[in-house]
A and B are shown apart, each in its own frame.
Chain A
Amino acid sequence: MSNNRHINFKLMRDHILSLQDGETARGGKKYWRSLEELADTPQFREFVAREFPQQAEEWHDPIERRTFLKLMGASLALAGLTGCVFQPPEKIVSNVKQPEEHVPWKALFFATAAPLFGAAVPVLVRSNEGRPTKIEGNPDHPNNRPTEFPAEDPVWAPRGSSATDIFTQASILGLYDPDRSQTLTYREDIRTWTAFVGDMRSALDEQRPKQGAGIRFLTESIISPTLGAQMKATLAALPQAKWHQYEPANRDNVRAGAVAAFGQPVNTTYRFDLAKRILSLDCDFLSPVFPGYLRYSRDFIAGRKITENNREMNRLYVVETTPSNTGAIGDHTWEVKPSEFEAIAKSIAAGVIPQSPTGTASVNLPWLAALVSDLTQHKGASIVVAGDNQPPIIHALAHAMNDALGNVGKTVFYTDPLETNSVDQRQSLQDLVNDLDAGRVELLVILGGNPVYNTPVDLKLDFERLKKAKLRVHLSEYKDETSELCHWHVPAAHYLESWGDTRSYDGTVTIMQPLIQPLYEGKTALELLAVFSEQYDRKPYDMVKSFWQTQPASGQQQAQSAGAGSNQSSQRAQAPAPAQPAPAPAPSPSPSQDFETSWRQALHDGFIENSAFPVKTVSLSANWSNQNQPTTKPTSGGFELVFRTDPSIYDGRFANNGWLQELPRPLTKVTWDNVAIISPKSALSLSGVRNDGAIKGREHYVSMIDLVNQQGQTVRAPLWIQPGQPDGVITIHLGYGRRLAGRVGSGTQDQPLGFDAYQIRTSYAPWFTGIQVVEAPAEHQLATTQLHFNLEDPNFSREERDIIRSQTLEQFLHGEKHDEKRKYDSLYNDPYDYRNQDENTPNYAWGMAIDLNNCIGCNACTIACQSENNIPVVGKTEVVRSREMHWIRVDTYFQGFDPNHPEGVNFMPVPCMHCENAPCEPVCPVHATVHSAEGLNDMVYNRCVGTKYCSNNCPYKVRRFNFFLYQDWNTPTYQLMRNPDVSVRSRGVMEKCNYCVQRIQSAKIQSELEDRKVRDGEIVTACQAVCPTEAIVFGDVNDPNSRVSKLKANERDYSLLGELNTRPRTTYLSQLKNPNPEVKT
């Protein structure tokens, strides 16, 4: 097969000459990834033209050059010898006693749940020889059971979803983080657990006569039923002790909105698959921080499937204060200022709710009437959802609108809150601060969280406040800012090391089981809290088990699940909502009869059957609109400020996670930093701010601004100009500026890592506030990947390349075709025939289809790939040089010609295309990249000598080079983390996506052992498994009945840069939008 893989060089030369001759002006751009690209600046052209310019620049710098030569000389002298090392003799450490189920070199999967924050994500964890190495979603969990995708849709599969989010994927790195706290300390001295228990017991003895009046517990929101019950029992024994809950990104607004609407806190769940019209009021429900996001995004995309028979699509309206992924997917997205938001929401409500108590429409926007009439035409099949950041009145409005639209009981359901004790967390923190200030606190026990860092400025738990508590205890995974100010620091166990329980978004209970003994001396919150009870040495396993033993058998009281399809008709629902067939009622043995069996079953399955909260009937209170919550008022002459949790490191708790730090944020593509996001128009109003594409060589510099809040507190932030940001609004992300996060997440005095947005955040305006902007005489280097790996080259092509395809549903249904691809003569000879490889051979031809209509830009594929394929983190300076190693990247394209208001945003995941005519292959001098018989573009690390010709010749820019030894070969814990089925690459070799060849081979071997062909869907690549919306489908393209073949036969299918005739195995399906024709913009 190698003899017919030569390139036609004469044709190639003619082709290049013809392109160079045609110096016609380039047409206007329609899709662009950065403002620099839209403006087509000279710097941008230079940037794109050079493949690896950074080294060249180092040569201009005399010191760099000399250092380089010195190192080169040394490495040349040693180069000849490095190959001559004998492998050290290897030991085989056999078992003493063969563990149950364990087969050497075969992975086992265990079900548990990831309780990282808020509602938990049910997962299956892969364990290789006792080491957890990869996290997948639990497809059997009720939350993940199949959605009703249109049955004829090839993507529909009877299996459940194995999706997870970026945080869950990256938590495996958190487990093996060498910076995790490893020892229990008292005033920085190492102590034993017994010493800690002794100290706590004597403190408790002091408190007991006072009924615990001096004891305060501070926790994050507690969802775990066992921990909640334990906390309540502790408080019952110490009636004067108090329990406070605080998280910086709490859901106080949601709670207050529910209390206003229904008089009680509720948990709202949705059926997005049944909703034809969805209105998001600043709600980013397609971001992983929204509880139930995995289910909702899957359901939402299910409503956007166009098949032979289903020609209808849901429609998403988004009104938002800062660009989000949900806004990018929305069919209509309006960016508005926070101060105008309430009036707009009330005006929509005025149309939707007959005789709305909030008055008539006060704003006159051209799209309001069309939106209102579209919603009212879809009564019972629509959803209004309000964002966590928006004030309670917006939530009350959303509840009232859902009520007026008849959605309650059809697409919107209410249950009890997930938290065991739902409180107003701002008030809870306020109470604690009051007690601290009054000196009423003697023993402060902080279970998890990092309140010293993340409390608002007016209620800051700083040393002045904390020192009034005589004894302070902090349980946390890291020795962080809070541990520094506490006497006792207890290292917390990671969830993969702990027994526990938790609930997913609809209340379904998962018993968490440990995958590994605690690597360090980690303790769980259950163990620490037990110290304050009579049984202070109880083991978490016993606590969890005995708690569930005393619970009534599941499936008796709570027969109906809320989220995953309830057919319990509530008062408002006239007809039962269409629902999935209810699971057969579980046989209900008496609790004592066979608890052990059901316990084992629950552990094995990863959930307790029918434990979701039952749907609750709540009625709208009469005076839901009477709220005197202060709303954001624009400050004269100033900007409005929006706080958001960081898309990657959330509220700062994942700051020491390199995978997440280096993950490009979905819209800005910034890594390793947080920025102040501003619109292009507003940026112009700041005179000193440069707005012209600030690239210096390969580096990206931005101006800085000082943000001064009303109390005069200031932070300095790098300014990021973002298309689509509303004018006059600045958005900043929480979570950065950590001082004691660990060696990855902590900045130093000279080089801070991001800025601490908590320094200007107050408790009474946690999400929106007015702000003064002062231009700062400073510049900041940002590592953004927006310009990296550009597929467009303005220096070369005369017209826009065929990268993104997006159409409206109407255009698609009328058969409007995209412009026919220009056909060039092929540079290659006839391709190898993959349909007939040899006798006896199953003739697989692996291929992938990526449906752009499904992609919500969540980045989960990138992290899942990083986890599966042992991909290293390179650090900020290397990202600046365009050396990030991600095998699959998600490109974000903006659409239209107006930088202020792009017409749309498109996400495009780009892995290796596995071209049948791969341009990388003929240029490799050492055959390090060659084709396999099944169509994989194999990368042979051991042959690679690092010429990088392949990367230069790759039109898709998917190849990644190990410029340095990026991989950490020394840290022992990282060695435990790695996937043993994938080689760990060293310095000087090229690498790229290989379609998870390890999974292909293991499925192939399994099929051969069982004398059959590989079944369709048996091989699931890491990116495919993690995708919540099934945008990625992998399979055998030689099998006409495989899902991937059916997708490739779809009329929307196209090849990226297909005109190059590279014949990529990865193809894309174009995106469809469903705008309302009546909306005038």
Chain B
Amino acid sequence: MPQIFHHSTNALAKLTIYGAVFIIVALLWVAVELNRSSWNTGQWVERQQPVQFSHKHHVGDDGIDCRYCHTSVETSASAGMPSTTTCMNCHKQIWADSPYLEPVRASFRTGKPIEWLRVHDLPDYAYFNHSIHIKKGVGCSTCHGRIDNMPILYQAAPLQMEWCLECHRAPERFVRPRQEIFNMEWRPENKGQEQLAEGFRLKSEYKIQGRHVLESCSTCHR
């Protein structure tokens, strides 16, 4: 009986076996990268809001402090969303007839709230608290990016757990002096000996707790 397969097919078989290993590894890598990609995390995705609100204009051009609208950022878990009346504080005078602001005026008139689309959406089992991060010297732009340059708001960070842990494992890389918290232009990361040394100093000054505590599951999950 003649051989069904030619000798040369051995090479093909070997290639297939080794290739399979490669393909599996490659597939895993693709899966992991897909998981980290903005396709999954929603990073960089601009969200169209019911009102064409520009952070770039309000923060960058007008220089309004974050806390004018996000009032509870220093006291509560949630930074808080401005009520319609907060918008109307200015816009009953400025741009009072602008068609862009009609949804705001409608809300004020009818008492029906504006429904914003959430841009930074953590999973419900992660209990993030704004106030403690502000207190410990984590600035707005560390997580939210250069809000003052965003005409339409998008999510600047992946918001995945490994990203959170970067800081929880080594807070000295990201902390900044408290008076710079709301400074959009502050450096995104402490690099180099000098900056890291300041990070360590702030970590100790602000009593940022040890890695074991910050890494414990129940610190963020309940």
Residues of A within 8 A of B (CB): 1, 87, 89-98, 103-106, 837-842, 930-934, 936, 938, 940-942, 981-983, 994, 997-998, 1000-1001, 1005, 1008-1009, 1011
Partner of B135, one of A90, A91, A839, A1008: A1008
B132 contacts chain A at the CB level, 8 A cutoff:
yes
Known A-B contacts A96-B83, A96-B84, A97-B84; A933 and B210 likewise in contact (beta carbons under 8 Å): yes
11 A-B pairs besides A936-B218, A1008-B207, A1011-B207 with CB distance below 8 A are A89-B117, A91-B117, A95-B81, A96-B111, A98-B85, A840-B204, A840-B208, A932-B213, A941-B125, A983-B124, A1009-B135
Cβ-closest chain B residue relative to A94: B81
User: In the complex, what distance in Å separates the CA atom of A129 from the CA atom of B180?
Assistant: 31
**In the complex, which residue of chain A has the Cβ closest to the Cβ of B118?**
A90
Please, which residues of chain A bring their CB within 8 A of the CB of B217?
930, 932, 938, 940
Q: Are A838 and B211 also in contact (CB < 8 A) when A96-B113, A1001-B218 are? A: yes
Cβ of A96 and Cβ of B112 under 8 Å apart?
Answer: yes
Q: Is A983's CB under 8 angstroms from B218's CB? A: no
Q: Is the CB of B108 within 8 A of A932?
A: no
B195 within 8 A of A: no
Known: A103-B72, A994-B222. A96 touches B216 (CB 8 A): no
- Structural contact, A94 and B83, CB atoms closer than 8 A: yes
B85/A837 in contact, CB under 8 A:
no
Which residue of the partner chain, among A90, A98, A105, A1001, contacts B222 with CB atoms under 8 Å? A1001
Considering residues A91, A981, A1011, which has the most beta carbons from chain B within 10 angstroms of its beta carbon? A91
Residues of B within 8 A of A90 (CB): 117-118, 121
Q: Shortest Cβ distance from B42 into chain A, in angstroms?
A: 9
| A-B residue pairs in contact (CB < 8 Å), sample of 7 | A92-B116, A94-B84, A96-B107, A106-B75, A840-B209, A1008-B135, A1008-B136
For the residues of A in contact with B, the DSSP-based class is loop
Chain B 110-143 per-residue mask, 1 if CB under 8 angstroms from chain A, else 0: 0111111110010111010101100110000000
The yes or no answer to B176 lying at the interface (CB within 8 A) is no
The answer to whether B84 and A95 touch across the interface, beta carbons within 8 angstroms, is yes
A914 to chain B, nearest CB (A): 11
- What is the bound-complex CA distance between A92 and B69, given in angstroms? 14
* Chain B residues within an 8 Å CB radius of A936: 216, 218
B212 close to A1 (CB less than 8 A): yes
Chain A nearest CB, measured from B178 CB (Å): 12
Nearest 3 CB-CB pairings of A with B: A838-B210, A932-B216, A933-B212
Q: Which among A87, A94, A103, A998 is the interface contact of B114 at CB below 8 angstroms?
A: A94
Name the residue among A92, A93, A982 with the largest chain B CB count within 10 angstroms.
A92
- Contact status A98-B210, CB under 8 Å: no
Contacts of A842 in B (CB 8 A): 209
Is B63 among interface residues, defined by CB-CB distance under 8 A? Answer: no
Determine whether B146 belongs to the interface, using a CB cutoff of 8 Å to chain A.
no
Chain B interface size band reads 35 or more
Q: Which of B66-119 contact A (CB under 8 A)?
A: 72, 75-78, 80-86, 107-108, 111-118
A1002 vs B121: C-alpha distance in the bound complex, in angstroms? 21
Complex contact A92–B123 (CB within 8 A): no
- Do A87 and B207 form a contact, CB below 8 Å, given A92-B117, A983-B222? no
Residues of A within 8 A of B123 (CB): 87
Bound state CA distance, A981 and B126, in angstroms? 10
Q: Contact: A94 with B82, CB < 8 Å? A: yes
Q: Which residue of B lies closest to A985 (CB)?
A: B125
Chain A residue nearest to B72 (CB atoms) is A103
Chain B residue numbers with a CB within 8 Å of A997 are 218, 222
Q: Do A981 and B222 have beta carbons less than 8 Å apart?
A: yes
Question: Which of A94, A103, A934 contacts B76, CB < 8 Å?
Answer: A103
Q: Say yes or no: is B203 at the interface (Cβ < 8 Å to chain A).
A: yes
Q: Is the CB of A94 within 8 A of B113?
A: yes
The residue on A at minimum CB distance from B221 is A940
Contact in complex: B76, A105 (CB < 8 Å)? yes
Are A840 and B210 in contact, with the CB atoms below 8 A? Answer: yes
Per-residue CB proximity of B23-46 to A under 8 Å, as 1/0?
A: 000000000000000000000000
Contact of A1005 among B107, B132, B210, B215 (CB under 8 A): B132
Residues of B within 8 Å of A839, CB to CB, are: 204, 210
Contact B213 A91 (CB under 8 A): no
The answer to whether residues A104 and B81 also contact, given A840-B203, A840-B207, A1005-B132 and a CB cut-off of 8 A, is yes
B213 nearest in chain A by CB position = A933
Q: Are A938 and B203 in contact (CB under 8 A)?
A: no
Residue among B136, B210, B213 facing the most chain A CB atoms (10 A cut-off): B213
Name the distance in Å between A828's Cβ and chain B's nearest Cβ.
19
Q: Does A91 contact B222, Cβ atoms closer than 8 Å?
A: no
Within 8 Å of chain A (Cβ to Cβ): is B219? yes
B222 touches A982 (CB 8 A): yes
Query: In the complex, are the beta carbons of A1009 and B211 less than 8 A apart?
Result: no
The reply to whether B115 and A932 contact each other, CB–CB distance below 8 Å, is no
Q: Is the CB of A983 within 8 A of B221?
A: yes
Which chain B residues border A106 with CB–CB below 8 Å? Answer: 72, 75-77
- Residues in B whose Cβ lies below 8 Å from that of A91: 115-118
Note all chain B residues with C-beta closer than 8 A to A98.
83, 85-86
- Minimum CB–CB distance from B97 to chain A (whole Å) comes to 20
Task: Give Cα A998–Cα B127 distance, bound, in whole angstroms.
Answer: 9
User: For A94, A941, A942, which residue has the most chain B Cβ atoms within 10 angstroms?
Assistant: A94
> In the complex, what residues of A have CB within 8 A of residue B112's CB?
96
Query: Which residues of the other chain, A, contact B127 by a CB distance below 8 angstroms?
Result: 981, 998, 1001
Q: Which residues of A contact B114 (CB under 8 A)?
A: 93-94
Instruction: Tell me the nearest residue of chain B to A99, going by C-beta.
Output: B83
Chain A contacts for B210, CB-based, 8 A: 837-841, 933
**CB <8 Å contact, B132 and A1009:** yes
Tell me the complex Cα distance, A1000–B219, Å.
10
| B189-218 near A? 1/0 per residue, CB < 8 Å | 000000000000001100111111101111
**Nearest A residue to B87, CB-CB:** A94
A842 to B83, CA, bound (A): 38
In the assembled complex, the CB of A564 is this many whole angstroms from the nearest CB of chain B, namely: 36
Kindly list chain B residues whose C-beta atoms are within 8 Å of the C-beta of A103: 72, 75-76, 80
Q: With A89-B118, A94-B116, A103-B76 as given contacts, are A932 and B125 in contact (CB-CB < 8 Å)?
A: no
Min distance, Cβ B154 to any Cβ of chain A, angstroms: 13
CB contacts (< 8 Å) of B213 on chain A: these are 837-838, 841, 932-934
**Complex formed: what's the CA distance from A200 to B116 in Å?**
47
Across the interface, which residues of A come within 8 angstroms of B111, CB to CB? 96
Q: Looking across the interface, which residue of chain A has its beta carbon closest to that of B134? A: A1009
Shortest A941–chain B CB gap in Å is 7
Whether A1009 contacts B131 by the Cβ 8 Å rule is yes
Task: Give chain A nearest CB distance to B213 CB in angstroms.
Answer: 5
Which residue of B is nearest A999, CB measured? B222
Of chain A, the residue at the smallest CB distance from B124 is A983
CA–CA, A1008 and B75, complex, Å? 11
Q: Once the chains bind, are B212 and A838 in contact (CB under 8 Å)?
A: yes
With A and B bound together, what is the CA distance between A92 and B121 in angstroms?
Answer: 10
Let me know if A104 and B78 touch, CB within 8 A.
yes
Could you tell me the distance between the alpha carbons of A92 and B209 in the complex, rounded to whole angstroms? 32
Residue of chain B at shortest CB distance from A998? B222
Task: State whether A104 and B129 are in contact (beta carbons under 8 Å apart), knowing that A932-B217, A983-B222 are contacts in the complex.
Answer: no
B84: chain A residues at CB < 8 Å are: 94-97
Q: How far, in angstroms, from A96 to B85 measured CA to CA in the complex?
A: 6
**A104–B114 Cα gap in the complex (Å)?**
16
Residues of B within 8 A of A837 (CB): 210, 212-213
A982: which B residues are within 8 A, CB to CB?
222
Contacts of A841 in B (CB 8 A): 209-210, 212-213
**Residue in A933, A942, A1005 whose beta carbon sits within 8 Å of that of B129 in the complex:** A1005
- Expressed in whole angstroms, the minimum distance between the Cβ of B142 and any Cβ of chain A is 18
Say yes or no: B121 contacts A87, CB within 8 Å.
yes
Q: How far is the CA of A1008 from the CA of B208 in the complex (A)?
A: 9
Most buried by B among A95, A838, A941: A95
B-side contacts of A998, CB under 8 Å = 127, 222
**A984 to chain B: closest residue by CB:** B124
Question: B77: nearest residue on chain A (CB-CB)?
Answer: A105
Q: Which residues of the partner chain B approach A93 to less than 8 Å between Cβ atoms?
A: 113-116
Q: Are A1008 and B132 in contact (CB under 8 A)?
A: yes
Residues of B within 8 A of A938 (CB): 216-218, 221
